[in-house]
């Protein structure tokens, strides 16, 4: 097959690579779409704190495709099934996996235990074919394209973040900081779940505009207003919101999430921190706030996102801006990193080779 193999920092080469044979409870997937995630440039640039096998490692973790072969023991799928994947597969044996928290498997990065993190510690989807354990595979509804299905992990992270902080009740108010793909997915998801009002904070009007199409009731450009927290509190009668979602990784946004929630409110930290934020812990104590972070998609979040897309409750199409064949993957990364042409979700299409 042809695959994009990482040979060093930002040294991604498309080359011939042997196809892996699926083992027990594994399927071989022909990859039709693999979306570039904001984490991918960190992986190909710095290794993202991973011990990568340069010259052999294939990145990419947001992908979808069609099953073309199956290993022993596979019963829930068939050759020809269109499938989306999530990137995490825990060892299934440690305390965290037994509790269902396999995205923080205690045997992370130890393939001999059964742990897999596709596109991070195990080969991923920037290739014509990839092997996945069936625990990480979901059938794609007939009315969902491969492009849309490739974004299920993005949506799964947002859904997991909403659930990890105590779930969500219809009618609640929400503030989302960061109109990147995960933040915009969070807007669409809370609206689908019955949010009363959704407030979106960001720095780019083009992305805030997409947020409005996905359900944001009010948007705030921090280049135009000094204090988004004050603006949101004014609209909410001084109370603040029930739930704040930090999806940018910015220290300022993390601090503002703590200030924008009402007494007894909740905060979900989804963004990968760019720098260490200063958090008002006194407010946490005196106003009985709750917060949780999230690592990846987790649970059945991806399956729920697929279903919400299938019934039309969430539309991910506005996030997809560019397509590239596998052979042009470095152009795809250049487009994504430098936000050329308003790039949001850039799709690489290995099966088109």
Q: How many residues does the chain have?
A: 353
Q: Label the pairing between strands 198-202 and 174-177.
A: parallel
Q: Using the predicted structure, report yes or no on whether residue 287 has a pLDDT greater than 70.
A: yes
Domains and CATH numbers, the chain: 2-151+316-352 (3.90.180.10), 155-293 (3.40.50.720)
Per-residue pLDDT tens over the stretch 319-346: 999 999 999 999 999 999 999 999 999 9
304, 323 contact by CB (below 8 A): no
Residue 44: name the closest of 8, 92, 80 by CA. 8
pLDDT digits (tens, 9 = 90+) for 211-234: 999 999 999 999 998 799 999 999
- Compute φ and ψ for 5, nearest 5 degrees: -105, 135
Q: Residue 289 above 90 pLDDT?
A: yes
Predicted confidence band of residue 353 (pLDDT cuts 50, 70, 90): low
pLDDT(49) > 80: no
Q: What is the pLDDT of residues 156-175, one digit of tens each?
A: 999 999 988 888 889 999 99
Rounded to whole angstroms, how far apart are CA atoms 200 and 56? Answer: 41
β 116-117/11-16 pair status: unpaired
DSSP H/E element including 253: helix 251-260
**What per-residue confidence (pLDDT) applies to 335?**
97
pTM, entire model = 0.93
pLDDT at 225: 83
Confidence band, pLDDT 50/70/90 cuts, at residue 264: very high
Rounded Cα distance between 120 and 87, Å, is 8
Alpha-carbon gap, residue 145 to 248, rounded angstroms = 27
Other CB atoms within 10 A of residue 283 CB? 14
- Mean pLDDT, to the nearest integer, of 249-270? 94
């Amino acid at each position: 097959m042809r695959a994009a193999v990482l040979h060093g920092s930002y040294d991604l080469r498309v080359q011939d690579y042997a196809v892996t044979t699926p083992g027990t409870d594994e399927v071989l997937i022909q990859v039709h779409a693999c979306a570039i995630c904001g984490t991918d440039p960190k992986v190909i640039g710095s290794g993202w704190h991973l011990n990568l096998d340069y010259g052999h490692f294939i990145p990419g973790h947001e992908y979808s495709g069609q099953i073309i072969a199956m290993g022993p023991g596979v019963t829930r799928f068939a050759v020809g099934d269109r499938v989306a994947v999530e990137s995490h597969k825990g060892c299934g044996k440690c305390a965290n996996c037994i509790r269902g928290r396999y995205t923080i498997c205690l045997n992370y990065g130890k393939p001999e235990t059964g742990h897999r993190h596709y596109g991070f510690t195990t080969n991923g989807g920037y290739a014509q074919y990839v092997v996945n354990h069936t625990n990480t595979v979901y059938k794609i509804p007939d009315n969902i394209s491969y492009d849309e299905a490739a974004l299920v992990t993005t949506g799964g992270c947002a859904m997991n973040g909403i659930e990890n902080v105590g779930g969500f009740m219809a009618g609640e108010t929400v503030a989302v900081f960061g109109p990147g793909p995960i933040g915009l997915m969070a807007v669409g998801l809370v609206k689908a779940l019955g949010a009363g009002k959704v407030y979106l904070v960001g720095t780019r009007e083009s992305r805030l505009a997409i947020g409005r199409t996905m359900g944001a009731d009010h948007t705030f450009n921090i280049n135009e207003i000094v204090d988004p927290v004050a603006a949101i509190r004014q609209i909410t009668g001084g109370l603040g919101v029930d739930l704040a979602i930090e999806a940018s990784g910015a220290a300022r946004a993390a601090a503002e999430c703590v200030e924008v929630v009402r007494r007894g409110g909740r905060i979900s930290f989804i963004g990968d921190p760019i720098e260490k934020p200063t958090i008002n812990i006194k407010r946490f104590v005196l106003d009985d706030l709750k917060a949780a972070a999230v690592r990846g998609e987790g649970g059945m979040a991806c399956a729920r996102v697929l279903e919400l897309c299938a019934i039309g409750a969430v539309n991910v199409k506005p996030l997809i801006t560019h397509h590239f064949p596998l052979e042009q993957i470095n152009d795809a990364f250049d487009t994504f990193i430098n936000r050329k042409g308003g790039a949001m979700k850039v799709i690489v299409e290995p099966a088109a080779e």
